[in-house]
Amino acid sequence: MTRGSPERIPLDAAGTDHVLRAVANRGWRCTGCGGDRARVGEVLDLRLLFPQGGSDAYLVALCCCNATCSQPRDDIRLGKHEFAADAGTAAGGAPG
């Protein structure tokens, strides 16, 4: 079975703010140091990799802000409404 490559979605400032609010609302903590501050990376559209996961499956890259963290890279799974400035567009970009 052939699957397409997943779509990587860069976030604008509004999308990043939405992600940071979702991270705080979910009580995210860094697995390496327990910190609660993170930088937000790109969003990975998981629908092509896991079509049974539903139509709202995205993985957002996080990086712990603690410079001495032993495991700074992490991620969080979110729905589009939790990171997109407008749920009808991909973080304010073209309709997805």
The per-residue pLDDT for range 14-30, each reduced to its tens digit, is 999 999 999 999 999 99
Per the CB < 8 A criterion, the answer to whether 83 and 60 are in contact is yes
Extents of the domains making up the chain: 8-82
Instruction: Report the predicted TM-score, pTM, of the whole model to 2 decimal places.
Output: 0.76
Per the CB < 8 A criterion, the answer to whether 4 and 48 are in contact is yes
What's the pLDDT band for 45 if we cut at 50, 70, 90?
confident
Q: What CA dihedral angle connects 34, 37, 40 and 44, to 10 degrees?
A: 30
Q: How crowded is the C-beta side of 27, counted as CA atoms within 13 Å? A: 0
pLDDT tens per residue, range 60-83: 999 999 999 999 999 999 988 887
- Round to whole Å and give the CA distance between 61 and 68: 19
